[in-house]
Amino acid sequence: MKIFTCIVCPVGCKIKIDENGNIEGARCDRGINFVKRELLSPQRTLTTTVKIENGIVKVLPVKSLIPIPKENLRNIVKEVSKISVKAPIRIGDTVYEREGIKIIATRSVEERKDV
């Protein structure tokens, strides 16, 4: 038997799965799907920041459009940290795309006016 703490929402259900695949303890279907994914290929949404030029802020927060395999998180953060974007940026703009992984802006950034 294996016990997972569901991380889909803040409730944090303790979900048990036994040798026969019986799942217990999930308060909703999202929890059941979470356990199935955790067993096959655990995935996480990646969030980090990238450089932004000429914006009203110094760095741009970004995230992966869809969750990515957990073991790739560190490598992708390293890749993404090399890029730099230019203001203006709209929330949802793609800032990086490679091998099916899409990284998008999670805020809008206006151009800096005082330069």
Partner 1 sequence: MKRFNTDIAIIGGGPAGLAAAIRAGELGANVVLIERDFELGGILNQCIHPGFGLSLFGIELTGPEYAERFIEKVYTLNNIKILLSTMIIDIQDKIIYGVNKYDGVISIKAKAIILSMGCRERTRGALGIPGERPAGIYTAGSAQRLINIEGLMPGERVVILGSGDIGMIMARRFVLEGAEVLGVLEKLSYPGGLTRNVVQCLEDFNIPLYLNHTITGIKGKYRLEGVVAEDLINKKKFSLDVDTLLLSVGLIPENELSRKIGVMLDPRTSGPVVTQDRETNISGVFACGNVLQVHDLVDEVTRESYMAAEGAIKYISSERKVGGIMDVRPGENVRYIVPQRLTLPIEKPLYVYFRPLEPLTDCQIIGECNGKIYSLGKTEYARPGEMIKLRLRKDILDSGSDIKIKLEGEKV
For binding to partner 1 (CB under 8 A), which residues are involved? 5-7, 9-10, 12, 44-45, 47-49, 51, 56-59, 61, 63, 70, 73-74, 77-78, 81, 91, 106-108
CB of 108 to partner 1, least distance (A): 6
Tokens of 54: 């000429």
CB of 39 to partner 1, least distance (A): 15
CB of 61 to partner 1, least distance (A): 4
Nearer Cβ to partner 1 (7/39) = 7
Nearer Cβ to partner 1 (53/97) = 53
Nearer Cβ to partner 1 (23/77) = 77
Nearer Cβ to partner 1 (12/98) = 12
CA proximity to 1, closest of 11, 15, 107, 105: 15
| Strand pairing category for 47-53 and 84-86 | parallel
Secondary structure string (H, E, C) spanning 7-52: CCCCCCCEEEECCCCCEECCCCHHHHHHHHHHHHCCEECCEEEEEE
